[in-house]
């Protein structure tokens, strides 16, 4: 069978990554999914075993990322699209987080995306085509009490995506960033608070998929959550800090 398109989704064993993998596999893509738990990857693969290929990987390990990147290129020859989705959630007050925890979150959420991207990026530049999607979060729009190091890393990812968009267009590489609202996944199942406009991972994956062909930089949803957040993020500091202090209460 001739392979038409190849997508690599990091963190494809659960949540949004899993639903994206299913969707892409029904649409002519060979889908490589990676993550640390092989049993979760296998569960995703079972939806479409010929099209969804699991590859065990810890994104915080650069050597592991290089090994898997080379394996994909050796087997398929190209990657059309890389979706940098793997992340861990570490919300809470900054003062409660120790440096070991900070290092762990940065290693996965920020360096992990870069580790997975670096080899593919060189290949994309060489072939003058490619598509990169960074999964970030609106938690990184502006300083937010309780967003912890998770918010810090997501802010950095959005910055990285913006810079990449600007720098890689000359290589004909399209860069998009995704800012999802609350999506029901193992990540958010930990949240104790009521999540406004909570969406299913299937719906989130569809929203992302439907925007692939567009030239929009930012893919965001749902509008009724993200528009107010965008509005807050452009307010002058004094008003922003006043409103957020009164709107968001964090214990500790």
Ligand X SMILES: NC(=O)c1ccc[n+]([C@@H]2O[C@H](COP(=O)([O-])OP(=O)(O)OC[C@H]3O[C@@H](n4cnc5c(N)ncnc54)[C@H](OP(=O)(O)O)[C@@H]3O)[C@@H](O)[C@H]2O)c1
For ligand X, give the closer residue by CB, 171 or 210.
210
Task: Name the H helices within 26-147.
Answer: 38-45, 62-76, 99-105, 112-127
CB of 111 to ligand X, least distance (A): 10
For ligand X, give the closer residue by CB, 1 or 57.
57
For ligand X, give the closer residue by CB, 125 or 206.
206
Q: Is the peptide bond before 162 cis (omega within 30 degrees of 0)?
A: no
CB of 44 to ligand X, least distance (A): 9
CB of 2 to ligand X, least distance (A): 30
Q: CB–CB of 23/209 below 8 Å? A: yes
For ligand X, give the closer residue by CB, 30 or 60.
60
CB of 91 to ligand X, least distance (A): 11
C-beta nearest to ligand X: residue: 15
Handedness of CA 117, 218, 29, 11 (dihedral sign): positive
CB of 126 to ligand X, least distance (A): 26
* Helix, strand and coil percent figures for the chain, each rounded to 5: 50, 15, 35
- C-alpha 196/C-alpha 138 separation (Å) is 13
Binding site for ligand X (CB under 6 A): 10-11, 13-17, 35-37, 40, 57-60, 85-88, 108, 112, 135, 137, 180, 182-183, 185-188
Neighbouring-strand partners of residue 10:
34
For ligand X, give the closer residue by CB, 170 or 201.
201
- C-alpha 213/C-alpha 176 separation (Å) is 11
């Amino acid at each position: 069978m001739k392979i038409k398109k190849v997508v690599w989704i990091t963190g494809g064993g659960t949540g949004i990554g899993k639903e994206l993998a299913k969707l892409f596999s029904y649409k002519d893509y060979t889908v490589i999914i990676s993550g640390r738990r092989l049993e979760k990857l296998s569960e995703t693969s079972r939806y479409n075993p010929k099209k969804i290929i699991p590859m065990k990987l810890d994104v915080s390990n650069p050597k592991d990322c290089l090994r898997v990147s080379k394996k994909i290129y050796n087997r398929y020859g190209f990657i059309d699209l890389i979706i940098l989705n793997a992340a861990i959630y570490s919300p809470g007050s900054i003062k409660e987080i120790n440096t070991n925890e900070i290092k762990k979150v940065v290693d996965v959420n920020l360096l992990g995306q870069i580790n997975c991207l670096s080899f593919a990026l060189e290949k994309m530049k060489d072939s003058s085509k490619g598509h990169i999607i960074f999964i970030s979060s609106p938690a990184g729009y502006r300083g937010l009490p309780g967003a912890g190091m998770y918010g810090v890393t997501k802010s950095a990812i959005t910055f990285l995506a913006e810079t990449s968009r600007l720098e890689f267009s000359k290589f004909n590489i399209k860069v998009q960033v995704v800012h999802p609202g609350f999506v029901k996944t193992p990540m958010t199942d930990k949240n104790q608070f009521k999540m406004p406009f909570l969406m299913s991972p299937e719906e989130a994956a569809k929203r992302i998929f439907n925007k692939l062909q567009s030239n929009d930089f930012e893919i965001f949803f749902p509008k009724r959550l993200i528009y107010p957040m965008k509005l807050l993020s452009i307010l002058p500091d004094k008003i922003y800090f006043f409103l957020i202090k009164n709107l968001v209460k964090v214990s500790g």
